[in-house]
């Protein structure tokens, strides 16, 4: 452990898989006590086991991030167990490729999980952070927040664009409470879980045609995103709020 998050208590949503799982492991290694929120307890257990093996502390709460009651229960359990809340990482999210481009129900479903969840988690976490006197919130958005895409379902980019702007609204609103709010925008990464547990095509295959548009010539790794999240969550970023950290191998530059 190197201790960049020593003494801090963090909630990480969607921490059972992918980038969230990498963030849980890295936060715990850096000394934070972590509460993992996810709908997939089966995937969370190996993440908790890894943290335990590495000498860290993490617990799990089954939460659907679009459900406010779930959030209330999970935040209360976290503060009962660890005494405070310093950091919230709003990482849980779903891809929209498998949803109907023209269905209002599908549109609302994706918005609820990718965006409304961030609003719910943030407003509840802020109450606890005010008690501490400071806090850091990191919202996992996407390069899709900042660009258009002719192939993907537009609701994905819209939901992530809203997360980007909501981050700025919150940075403005909560600065007086010494609560910092920033967004992280990953580019092409290992692929997200698919709707109805459909098999995931590896990113190297799915994004083959994108490779030459990435200056660094490869997809990113989950740890490369987690490093950025740890930085923004930590006191090293004490004068950074309302900013976006793009982690995309340079994709948006071209």
Considering only residues 113, 115, 129, 162, which one is a binding residue for ligand NAD as defined by CB under 6 A?
113
Mark the segment that binds ligand NAD (CB under 6 A) among 26-34, 79-87, 91-99, 228-236: 91-99
Q: Which of 156, 166, 227, 239 is catalytic?
A: 156
Binding-site size, ligand NAD (CB under 6 A): 30
Least distance between ligand NAD and beta carbon 44 (Å): 8
Q: Show the binding pattern over residues 63-82: x = contacts ligand NAD (CB under 6 A), - = does not.
A: xxxx----------------
Q: Does 20 bind ligand NAD (CB under 6 A)?
A: yes
* Torsions phi, psi for 62 (to 5 deg): -75, 115
CA distances from 22 to 58, 95, 110, 138 (A): 13, 19, 23, 15
Considering only residues 14, 157, 228, 249, which one is a binding residue for ligand NAD as defined by CB under 6 A?
14
Considering only residues 4, 74, 93, 234, which one is a binding residue for ligand NAD as defined by CB under 6 A?
93
Q: How far apart are CA 62 and CA 73, in angstroms?
A: 10
Q: How far apart are CA 43 and CA 40, in angstroms?
A: 5
Which two three-digit tokens encode residue 39?
A: 């709908």
Q: Which residues pair with 62 in a beta bridge?
A: 38
Instruction: Please say if 227 is a catalytic residue.
Output: no
Which two three-digit tokens encode residue 12?
A: 């990480």
Mark the segment that binds ligand NAD (CB under 6 A) among 75-83, 89-97, 129-137, 228-236: 89-97
Q: Show the binding pattern over residues 188-207: x = contacts ligand NAD (CB under 6 A), - = does not.
A: xxxxxx--------------
Contact assessment for residue 44 and residue 16, using Cβ atoms and an 8 Å cutoff: yes
Burial class from Cβ neighbours inside 10 Å (0-12, 13-18, 19+) for residue 252 reads middle
Least distance between ligand NAD and beta carbon 5 (Å): 20
Q: How far apart are CA 235 and CA 19, in angstroms?
A: 21
Least distance between ligand NAD and beta carbon 133 (Å): 29
Mark the segment that binds ligand NAD (CB under 6 A) among 11-19, 172-180, 208-216, 238-246: 11-19
Q: Does 140 bind ligand NAD (CB under 6 A)?
A: yes
Mark the segment that binds ligand NAD (CB under 6 A) among 38-46, 74-82, 166-174, 235-243: 38-46
Burial 89-100 (b: 16+ CB within 10 A, else e): bbbbbbbbeebe
Which two three-digit tokens encode residue 101?
A: 């481009």
The SS3 of residue 206 is helix
Residues labelled as active-site residues: 156
Residues that bind ligand NAD (CB under 6 A): 13-14, 16-20, 37-40, 43, 63-66, 91-94, 113, 140, 142, 186, 188-193
């Amino acid at each position: 452990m190197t201790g960049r998050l020593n003494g801090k208590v963090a909630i990480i949503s969607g921490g059972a898989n992918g980038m969230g799982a990498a963030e849980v492991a890295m936060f715990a290694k850096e000394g934070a006590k972590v509460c993992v929120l996810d709908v997939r307890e089966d995937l969370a257990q190996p993440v908790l086991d890894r943290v335990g093996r590495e000498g860290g502390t993490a617990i799990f709460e089954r939460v659907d991030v679009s459900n406010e009651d779930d959030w209330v229960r999970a935040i209360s359990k976290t503060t009962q167990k660890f005494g405070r809340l310093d950091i919230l990482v709003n990482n849980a999210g779903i891809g929209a490729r498998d949803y109907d481009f023209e269905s209002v129900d599908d549109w609302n479903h994706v918005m609820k999980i990718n965006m409304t969840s961030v609003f719910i988690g943030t407003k509840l976490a802020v109450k606890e952070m005010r008690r501490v006197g400071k806090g850091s919130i990191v919202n996992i958005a996407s390069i899709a927040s900042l660009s258009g895409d002719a192939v993907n379902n537009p609701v994905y980019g819209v939901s992530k664009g809203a997360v980007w702007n909501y981050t700025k609204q919150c940075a403005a609103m909560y600065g007086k409470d010494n609560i910092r709010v920033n967004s992280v925008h990953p580019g092409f990464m290992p692929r997200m879980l698919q709707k109805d547990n459909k098999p995931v095509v590896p990113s190297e295959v799915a994004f083959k045609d994108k490779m030459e548009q990435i200056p660094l010539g490869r997809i990113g790794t989950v740890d490369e995103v987690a490093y950025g999240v740890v930085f923004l969550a930590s006191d090293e970023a004490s004068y950074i709020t309302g900013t976006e950290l793009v982690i995309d191998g340079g994709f948006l530059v071209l």
